[in-house]
Amino acid sequence: MKLNDQSELYLPFNQELEQSFKTITHMVFAAHQDDIEIMAQHGILSCFDDPKNRFAAVVCSDGGGSPRTGLYGNYTNEEMKRVRILEQKKAAMVGNYSLLVLLNYSSAQIKDPCFLPLLEDLKILLQKIRPKVIYTHNPADKHDTHVAVSLRVITALQELSSTYRPDIVYGCEVWRGLDWINDNEKVILDVSGHPALRASLLGVFDSQIEGGKRYDLAALGRQAANATFYTSHETDEIDAAIYAIDLTPLLAGGDVCDYMNGYIQHFSSDINERIKRLK
């Protein structure tokens, strides 16, 4: 498997690489270090200590350019890259990942629609591993690099033979929640329980927490809020949830803007109908 020259494959428990490929069932494609642990905890928990389901993670960016203060305030971009890669490897060990792939592209490269190496790397990984379940960013995210990764994953899957397509692709929330999606269209990913594991997965990213971004508290708070505010007339059946949208229909083709506009129009119609009905 020949990926770009800057890429790194990390096997947290020194398992045999080819054997890992055969056992991976759930896979996440993320823009940055720690995006995995925010949006794909469902996949991590589904595979944790389960011999029939194994989890793999792909980080597309090199981690440069992140905000930093305090202990990390004087770190150079190169130093921050090394720290964030080390943190991601720690998270892979905590979460019992089967494989971590670090592609180490810059954000500028990822956001460039004409930059093809990332797309080719994604195709290679999808052909080699053939996961059944994929998690990635949703196209309504407000972070450009996140949206770019989502689009590259969708394009890679569209361009591959149906043989390599997963059973489902989840577009998950990070830099914009998906509570606005109508309830009949949002996917509820139950991440209840395992409070210590979920907190630990987020807590290893000290460069972000100490650096001024409490992603650990924010992500866990959103999960609790999603579970509680999902329905107003029933008691909570779960205590933590991640919202997602089903991107699987796009794999057969179709325009991403048109697909997302469908969700927006349904949301708008729901608001207008309720106001008119109660006015």
pLDDT tens track, the chain, 279 positions: 799 999 999 999 878 888 888 899 999 999 999 999 999 999 999 999 888 999 999 999 998 777 667 777 778 888 888 999 999 999 999 999 999 999 999 999 999 999 999 999 999 999 999 999 999 999 999 999 999 999 999 999 999 999 999 999 999 999 999 999 999 999 999 999 999 999 999 999 988 887 778 899 999 999 999 999 987 667 778 999 999 999 999 999 999 999 999 999 999 999 999 999 999
The residue count of the chain comes to: 279
Reduced to 3 states, what is the DSSP secondary structure of residue 25?
strand
Residue 218: predicted pLDDT:
94
Tell whether 73 is covered by a domain: yes
Tell whether 2 is covered by a domain: no
Residue 241: predicted pLDDT:
96
Residue 72: predicted pLDDT:
72
Residue 164: predicted pLDDT:
93
Structural domain span for residue 99: 8-278
Q: Token pair for residue 144?
A: 């450009």
Tell whether 61 is covered by a domain: yes
Tell whether 164 is covered by a domain: yes
Let me know: does 95 contact 53? Beta carbons within 8 Å: no
The 3 state secondary structure assigned to 184-240 is CCCEEEECCCCHHHHHHHHHCCHHHHCCCCCHHHHHHHHHHHHHHHCCCCCCCCCCC
Q: How many domains does the chain have?
A: 1
Name the residue among 100, 48, 82 with its Cα closest to residue 207. Answer: 82
Tell whether 1 is covered by a domain: no
Tell whether 3 is covered by a domain: no
Q: How far apart are CA 58 and CA 70, in angstroms?
A: 29
Tell whether 180 is covered by a domain: yes
> Domain holding 58: CATH number?
3.40.50.10320
C-alpha R_g of the chain: 19
Tell whether 186 is covered by a domain: yes
Residue 132 contacts by C-beta under 8 Å, 6 or more apart in sequence? 25, 26, 166, 167, 168
Let me know: does 62 contact 106? Beta carbons within 8 Å: yes
Task: Tell me the pTM.
Answer: 0.94
Residue 1: predicted pLDDT:
76
